[in-house]
Amino acid sequence: MRILITGGAGFLGSHLCDRLIAQEHDVLCLDNFFTGRKKNIEHLLDHPHFELIRHDVIDPFKFEVDRIYNLACPASPPHYQYNPIKTTKTSVMGAINCLGLAKRVKARIFQASTSEVYGDPTVHPQPESYWGNVNPIGYRSCYDEGKRCAETLFFDYHRENGVDIRVGRIFNTYGPRMNPDDGRVVSNFIVQSLRGEDITVYGDGSQTRSFCYVDDLIEGFLRMMEQEKTIGPVNIGNPGEFTMLELAELVLKKVGGKSKIVHQDLPTDDPRQRQPDISLAKKYLEWQPAVRLEQGIEKTIDYFRKECAG
């Protein structure tokens, strides 16, 4: 198949490019390099089945493709809050442009949605049937509401125009090719401890997240796209839940060294807890994550050791 991946030079997108190229598909990687890096896809540039297109999803585009994975959007809080209006435009206009293309060329289209659609959840763990608890006017809203509106557009294009959609709600994912400077917690803690700097835990560190290793997540994407049982939304994530203090201690133990844990202010509207209910993924995708946090963190540390040394 011919497959378009928007945001293909980012952390998740580049792993998806690798998997689809390995399956011998033709891959079109579209990216504006806001948070993505050429380095992530450098090894694919000479591959006969790979094409790189520098383009912004908020401007229209047209390609003959069979599948579209829409991943274009900065994902780390510092990056999506850097230019919040652009973040909303990327989610909303990007979705409209991708859906318009899917409609025209009859491509199946996958949306990389997020656990942020649940906001600061009052239901725990979060099933897909939960409508969420989202602040519409806060610092995280550009991302949360942008992604919620994108989901709305996906379902309206499906109902109104018969577009063949798949919506996956991704929970916190980590692994090699995370941008060391993007401010997400796993990369921050590992890079800080490798450099012997203080590990910055925001607030008292009792807030929780559930972390999925990238290889598991990409397998979930592929299964979601190629199954016929549901259009979603389906949660894709690892239900293993950890406090940020537990994560900091795990990273410290694995890296060794002299870093100390220090506490900094908790960002506004930081969700207190987050854990996916993955019953639907198990049922429809016959998928569940296989990599435990400890194993995944070791692989990620190995990656950053090389990254920080080079």
Q: Which is nearer to ligand UDP, 169 or 209 (CB)?
A: 209
* Token code pair at residue 21: 């190229």
Nearest distance in Å: CB 72, ligand NAD: 4
Half-sphere CA count of 204, side-chain side, radius 13 A: 2
* Token code pair at residue 48: 């006969």
Q: Give the 3-state secondary structure of residue 264.
A: strand
Please tell me which residue in 143, 157, 174, 213 is annotated as part of the active site.
143
Identify which of 218, 221, 212 has the alpha carbon closest to the alpha carbon of residue 295.
212
Q: Which is nearer to ligand UDP, 118 or 287 (CB)?
A: 118
Place of tokens 């089945």: 49
Nearest distance in Å: CB 8, ligand UDP: 21
Nearest distance in Å: CB 183, ligand NAD: 11
Q: Which amino acid is at 82?
A: Y
143 is catalytic: yes
The residues of the shown chain that bind ligand UDP, judged by CB under 6 A, are 76-77, 172, 184-185, 188, 200-202, 207, 209, 244, 266-267, 270
Nearest distance in Å: CB 273, ligand UDP: 10
Place of tokens 């378009």: 4
Beta partners for residue 200, in sequence order: 262
Residue 294's CB is within 10 A of a number of other CB atoms, namely: 11
Q: Which is nearer to ligand UDP, 57 or 185 (CB)?
A: 185
The residues of the shown chain that bind ligand NAD, judged by CB under 6 A, are 6-7, 9-13, 31-36, 56-58, 71-75, 90, 112, 114, 170, 172-173, 179
Binding partner selected for residue 145 from ligand UDP, ligand NAD, none, CB under the kind-specific 5 to 8 Å limit: none
Binding partner selected for residue 267 from ligand NAD, ligand UDP, none, CB under the kind-specific 5 to 8 Å limit: ligand UDP
Q: Which residues contact 161 (CB under 8 A, 6 or more apart)?
A: 103
Q: Which is nearer to ligand UDP, 25 or 263 (CB)?
A: 263
C-alpha of 143 from chain center: 12
Q: Which residues contact 306 (CB under 8 A, 6 or more apart)?
A: none
Binding partner selected for residue 112 from ligand UDP, ligand NAD, none, CB under the kind-specific 5 to 8 Å limit: ligand NAD
Q: Which residues are catalytic?
A: 143
